[in-house]
Amino acid sequence: GAVVSQHPSWVICKSGTSVKIECRSLDFQATTMFWYRQFPKQSLMLMATSNEGSKATYEQGVEKDKFLINHASLTLSTLTVTSAHPEDSSFYICSASWGGETQYFGPGTRLLVL
Amino acid sequence: SQELEQSPQSLIVQEGKNLTINCTSSKTLYGLYWYKQKYGEGLIFLMMLQKGGEEKSHEKITAKLDEKKQQSSLHITASQPSHAGIYLCGRNSGGYQKVTFGTGTKLQVIP
């Protein structure tokens, strides 16, 4: 149980375009979803926390207008990277929890902005 | 500096050998997670430790929490190539179950 999927698994886009990444909890209802970013050889950095039906809480230094998060249902959260630039290239990972203390992670989405 | 420091940063061991990874926190540990990540993939939950002195095992992996030392250790017995990956410790760092991750330990197991 506790499976989290992400789509797409990787994406290449042109600079200036927007990219949407989906995170789904497949076999449970996620009250809270998290979005992380991971640079090569580095640990995960939390970008934002989102609860279903409410606005996401962004970590310090993360631009909310740049990284739009929507948590419209208990099984789906989306991260949209708006006007992507090469420095946004990274590995984005979501996780989900349902009130317990354990987060279950998606497989990640690799974004390359040309 | 990082809240959670892991050591070693990387480790290469021969198949069948035992190994230990440490995670040291600069803040009081009320609970600690261990995750495993394969390159370019998501994280696999290994175990969560909540009480000082707690020890949990899953297959050949054992983790302990020493609250006084603000430290946790992950021990793998008789390592196998399938154990290779990046091991990350994490601690709750605020509301809504926010997790702060450690610096990571990259493990390679040579057949």
Per DSSP (E only), the strands in chain A are 4-7, 10-13, 19-25, 32-38, 44-51, 57-58, 67-73, 76-81, 90-97, 104-105, 109-113
Contacts of B100 in chain A (CB under 8 A): 46
Which residues on B lie below 8 Å from A95 (Cβ)? 43
Nearest to A101 among B31, B35, B88 (CB): B31
Q: Give the distance from residue B101's alpha carbon to the nearest chain A alpha carbon, in angstroms.
A: 6
Given a cut of 90, whether residue A6 has pLDDT beyond it is yes
Residues B69-83 have a mean pLDDT of 95
Task: Convert the pLDDT of each residue in A79-104 to its tens digit.
Answer: 999 999 999 999 999 999 887 667 88
Please name the residues in contact with B98: beta carbons below 8 A apart, sequence gap of 6 or more.
A34, A46, A49, B92
User: Do A105 and B35 form a contact (C-beta atoms < 8 A)?
Assistant: yes
Are A34 and B41 an interchain contact pair (Cβ–Cβ within 8 Å)?
no
User: Between β-strands A32-38 and A19-25, what pairing exists: parallel, antiparallel or unpaired?
Assistant: unpaired
